[in-house]
């Protein structure tokens, strides 16, 4: 996995995104900001920074405008801990003349002690990295659909991690499954496992979304950006865990600018062959090995059905049915 972070393995795919509109969540810093700064050089004409803090988003937008004075750039509020915020954001997106690319970059690394999201009752890393990401992804699918004949498929890229290949997923047999992620945990090892398994769940999500949505409408994938310095992903990690992350990042990390190219590769260079896939090392790569077993397939199906039930308040089943009819 560390191969993904090696400088010698960095690439800059040649793509044209002239005239396209793109949104990036978590884009006021780190890889999200680097990607928002990079996309205009490839032709993107309209960028939406989806951020929790409008003031920080405005600062990020100002830094981008200095480099791209003709770029249309909007800063929209999005709180991934709030279902109403996600719904309002998706509704706002539906008013756009077009949305070609959505990069769901916002995520949480979590700290050594689990936290419960008061508004939903779920553990925060699980909430942000999986449940809220699933809701936003589903609500954006109709917006990303081609609106005219001959228009290219929309692109939905969810940021994953190679750590998702390593999770033990010890609660995979829990019935029901979703509540089992709300059991309190503590310690660096447990926090690392929670982050890892949240990214395994993203793999399962992308697989199921690809079954529900045609690649002729929206190409959906997940991407591993590699260990990256200068991000806020591990801001809540402390003690020995914080020291370990500092050492690892110093020894083998990419810069945010280098990592941003992995997003470009997944959302523009890769085509329908990546639909429902995991892009790592610039290639479509296998998921967690457990997902190919009978037990893993059952877990994937159970997670999917529980997710649709959890998010039914937002009409996710009906939303998913719309692209299939096109």
Q: Report yes or no: 86 and 136 within 8 Å, Cβ to Cβ.
A: yes
Q: Look at residue 157 and give its three-state secondary structure.
A: strand
Cα–Cα separations (whole angstroms), residue 38 to 32, 104, 204, 290: 10, 16, 29, 36
For β-strands 72-77 and 46-51, DSSP reports them as parallel
Cα 312 from chain centroid?
A: 21
Instruction: Catalogue the E-assigned strands of the chain.
Output: 21-25, 46-51, 72-77, 101-104, 154-159, 218-223, 277-280, 283-285
Q: Report yes or no: 23 and 47 within 8 Å, Cβ to Cβ.
A: yes
Taking the CB of residue 257, how many other CB atoms lie within 10 A of it? 16
Q: Look at residue 154 and give its three-state secondary structure.
A: strand
Taking the CB of residue 44, how many other CB atoms lie within 10 A of it? 23
The residues that are catalytic are 195, 199
Nearest to 125 by CA among 97, 164, 155: 164
How far apart CA 26 and CA 287 sit, in angstroms, is 25
């Amino acid at each position: 996995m560390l191969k993904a972070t090696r400088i010698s393995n960095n690439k800059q795919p040649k793509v044209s995104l002239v005239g396209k509109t793109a949104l990036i969540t978590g884009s006021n810093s780190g890889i999200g900001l680097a990607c928002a700064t990079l996309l205009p050089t490839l032709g993107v004409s309209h960028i939406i920074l989806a951020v929790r803090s409008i003031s920080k988003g405005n600062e990020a937008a100002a830094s981008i405008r200095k480099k791209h004075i003709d770029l249309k750039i909007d800063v929209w509020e999005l709180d991934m801990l709030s279902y109403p915020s996600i719904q309002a954001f998706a509704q706002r997106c539906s008013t756009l003349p077009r949305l070609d690319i959505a990069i769901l970059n916002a995520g949480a690394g979590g700290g050594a002690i689990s936290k419960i999201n008061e508004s939903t009752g779920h553990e925060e890393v699980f909430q942000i990295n999986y449940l809220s990401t699933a809701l936003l992804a589903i609500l954006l699918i109709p917006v990303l659909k081609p609106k005219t004949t001959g228009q290219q498929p929309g692109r939905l890229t969810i940021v994953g991690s190679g750590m998702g290949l390593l999770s033990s997923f010890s609660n995979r047999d829990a019935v029901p499954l979703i509540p089992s992620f709300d059991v309190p945990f503590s310690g660096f090892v447990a926090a690392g496992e929670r982050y890892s398994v949240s990214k395994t769940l993203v793999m399962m999500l992308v697989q199921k979304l690809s079954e529900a949505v045609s690649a002729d409408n929206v190409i959906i994938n997940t991407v591993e950006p590699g260990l990256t310095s200068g991000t806020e992903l591990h801001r809540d990690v402390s003690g020995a865990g914080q020291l370990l992350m500092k050492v690892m990042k110093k020894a083998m990390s990419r810069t945010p600018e280098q990592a941003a190219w992995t997003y470009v590769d997944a959302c523009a260079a890769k085509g329908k062959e990546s639909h429902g896939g995991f892009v790592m090392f610039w290639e479509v790569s296998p998921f967690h090995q457990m997902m190919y077993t009978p037990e893993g397939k059952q877990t994937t199906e159970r997670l999917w059905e529980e997710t649709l039930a959890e998010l039914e308040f937002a009409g996710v089943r009906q939303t998913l049915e719309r692209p299939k009819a096109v």
